[in-house]
């Protein structure tokens, strides 16, 4: 009988094959920085899994986790895979009521946090419906453990290092994520072990990862991107370096790449732009030759950004990906396609079915026209938690849509036009914000831009551009931006108004996606 080895099983294997090789390294709650070999990492995963089982947790139970990017997060994911438990990662930017909602909606039976979150959690934990008083776990120094919490390292040290006697099957749930909420309240997304195993093996093929690779995690470990691009390396004997996901410092990232000989990282365009905006001395002083591959995700990158990345990382191949929390990776634009297919998300990943672009009636649209993107493949999620109607409405047969609108060119390459929910209707005409954003973003003084529809008495909605200038002191004027779009966009698609904001005023998800919905609310 064929089986897919999950992360818990493959780490048992790798603890023998690559016993003394570095598995996980980087920021940690314990001692601030740590490093574990495959043998040490597997043993810690076993101990934590057995500690949970000793507490009375059983296969299928949920464990909510609220942490910054630290190595202990990797322990938790591994231990859950071994014990058959389900990790519910909570966005570290969320506050009390949002935390309470996720814990109760997911029916979590245990809760893990570090010192930074104790005050926020204490304000709502009495409302946690299924987390018993003896299942709150604190990661930190034992003498700082708050009353009512168990100490993480203490329960690990007391537990057995043996492999847990729990059968975990490929279809079993491993991670219960919550969507970033770009279009409303977060939805629980149920992902199985086999969907992750499929992701790891397909990406080994598409990217050509190797056992001597060291991937760096910069995106939040509470997000699907980091659950993908962490274990994709440890699965084959490669290493992972855990870096913080907040207070991003582009020069510090370059320092780490040089010091740790990083070979891969996944970043959003904003991360790369901030690197490229460093003074030339900082950009050129570090040895970045170890980097073999780079991934751009979450948003499209402009030509000048791609050229800048290629110049800064001369040995690296650049990839651009499209996917979702639900579908995994859907398409990939490969290195040799970067400059000949600007704006494209590429073509279907290995091992996945052909994409369908459908109209509102479920009919295929002609090539070149815009339709809703549906995908089918082995990286797919199982369901939206407790939302059977939403699950059903997101599928047509076995094909899933995240609500993105796209078109296909004559060579089979796909282009995301926008989310259905972000579409602007002005005077009866449809305007896709991404089209307008691409034009405004090409202005040399613009660092980033979001385009939204705002109420208009005459037209229903009018087009507004919200711009982050490269230099606040020399920002272009509203008139200059509007004039710049003349001749590049039809009149009804051109911005009718422009606002300028600072980078930290742009609402974003934890992975850098602009929250158009939140931005629109400011103008209602």
The C-alpha atoms of residue 11 and residue 17 are separated, in whole angstroms, by 10
The pLDDT tens digits for 186-204 are 799 999 999 999 999 999 9
Q: Which long-range contacts (CB under 8 A, 24 or more apart) does 138-142 make?
A: 138/113, 138/114, 139/29, 139/30, 139/67, 139/70, 139/72, 139/112, 139/113, 139/114, 140/29, 140/114, 140/115
Asked if pLDDT for residue 394 goes beyond 90, the answer is yes
Per the model's pLDDT, the better-predicted residue between 461 and 375 turns out to be 375
Measured on CA atoms in the order 354, 356, 362, 366, is the torsion positive or negative? negative
The predicted structure's pLDDT at residue 184 = 55
Q: Please provide the average confidence, as pLDDT, over all residues in the chain.
A: 93
Nearest CA to 223 out of 125, 350, 94, 316 is that of: 94
Domain limits, the chain: 7-198, 248-419, 423-521
How far is residue 76 from each of residues 45, 51, 88, 91, 255, measured CA to CA in Å?
A: 7, 11, 10, 15, 28
The predicted structure's pLDDT at residue 181 = 52
What is 424-475 written as a DSSP string? EEETTEEE-HHHHHHHHHTSTTEEEEEEEEEEETTTEEEEEEEEEES-GGGP
> Which CATH class, in words, describes the domain spanning 423-521?
alpha beta
The predicted structure's pLDDT at residue 463 = 95
Q: Is there a shared CATH topology between the 7-198 domain and the 423-521 domain?
A: no
Rounded mean pLDDT, 329-354: 95
Asked if pLDDT for residue 511 goes beyond 80, the answer is no
Asked if pLDDT for residue 299 goes beyond 80, the answer is no
The pLDDT tens digits for 451-493 are 999 988 777 789 999 999 998 888 999 999 999 999 888 788 8
> Which CATH class, in words, describes the domain spanning 248-419?
alpha beta
Rounded mean pLDDT, 61-79: 98
The C-alpha atoms of residue 424 and residue 431 are separated, in whole angstroms, by 5
The pTM of this model reads 0.85
Q: Tell me which CATH homologous superfamily contains domain 7-198.
A: ANL, N-terminal domain (3.40.50.12780)
């Amino acid at each position: 009988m064929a089986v897919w080895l999950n992360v818990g099983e493959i780490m048992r294997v790798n603890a023998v094959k690559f016993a003394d090789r570095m598995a996980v390294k980087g920021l940690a709650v314990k001692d601030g920085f740590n490093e574990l070999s495959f043998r040490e990492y597997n043993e810690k995963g076993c101990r934590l899994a057995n500690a949970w089982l000793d507490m009375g947790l059983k296969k299928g139970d949920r464990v909510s986790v609220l942490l910054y990017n630290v190595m202990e997060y990797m322990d938790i994911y591994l231990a859950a895979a071994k014990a058959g438990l389900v990790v519910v990662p909570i966005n570290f930017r969320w506050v009390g009521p949002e935390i309470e909602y996720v814990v109760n909606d997911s029916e979590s039976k245990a809760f893990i946090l570090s010192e930074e979150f104790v005050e926020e959690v204490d304000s709502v934990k009495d409302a946690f419906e299924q987390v018993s008083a003896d299942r709150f776990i604190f990661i930190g120094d034992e003498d700082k453990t708050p009353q009512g919490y168990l100490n993480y390292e203490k329960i690990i040290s007391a537990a057995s290092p043996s492999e847990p006697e729990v059968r975990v099957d490929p279809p079993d749930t491993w991670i219960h994520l919550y969507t970033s909420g770009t279009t409303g309240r977060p939805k629980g997304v149920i992902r199985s072990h086999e969907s992750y195993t499929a992701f790891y093996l397909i990406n080994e093929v598409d990217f050509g990862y190797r056992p001597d690779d060291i991937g760096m995690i910069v995106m939040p470990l509470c997000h699907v991107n980091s659950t993908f691009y962490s274990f994709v390396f440890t699965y084959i004997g490669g290493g992972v370096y855990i870096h913080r996901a907040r207070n991003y410092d582009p020069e510090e990232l370059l320092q780490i790449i040089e010091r740790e000989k990083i070979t891969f990282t996944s970043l959003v365009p904003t991360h790369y732009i901030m690197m490229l905006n460093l003074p030339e001395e900082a950009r050129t002083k570090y040895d970045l030759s170890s980097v073999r591959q780079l991934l751009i995700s979450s948003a499209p990158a402009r030509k000048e950004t791609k050229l800048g990345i290629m110049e800064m990382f001369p040995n690296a191949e650049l990839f651009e990906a499209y996917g979702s929390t639900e579908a995994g990776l859907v398409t990939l634009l490969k290195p040799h396609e970067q400059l000949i297919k600007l704006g494209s998300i590429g073509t279907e990943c290995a091992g996945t079915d052909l994409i369908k672009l459908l109209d509102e009636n479920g009919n295929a649209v002609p090539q070149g026209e815009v339709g809703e993107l549906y995908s089918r493949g082995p990286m797919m999620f199982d369901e939206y938690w407790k939302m059977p109607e939403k699950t059903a409405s997101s599928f047509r047969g076995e094909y899933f849509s995240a609500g993105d609108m796209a078109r296909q060119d004559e060579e089979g390459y796909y282009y995301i036009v926008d989310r259905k929910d972000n579409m602007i209707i002005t005077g009866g005409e449809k305007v896709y914000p991404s089209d307008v954003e691409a034009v405004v973003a090409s202005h040399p003084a613009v660092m980033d831009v979001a385009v939204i529809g705002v109420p208009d008495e005459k037209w229903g909605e009018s087009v507004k551009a919200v711009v982050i200038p490269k230099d606040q002191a020399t920002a272009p004027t509203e008139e200059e931006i509007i004039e710049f779009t003349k001749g590049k966009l039809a009149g009804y698609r051109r911005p009718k108004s422009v606002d300028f904001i600072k980078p930290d005023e742009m609402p974003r998800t934890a992975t850098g996606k602009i929250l158009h919905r939140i931005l629109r609310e400011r103008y209602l």
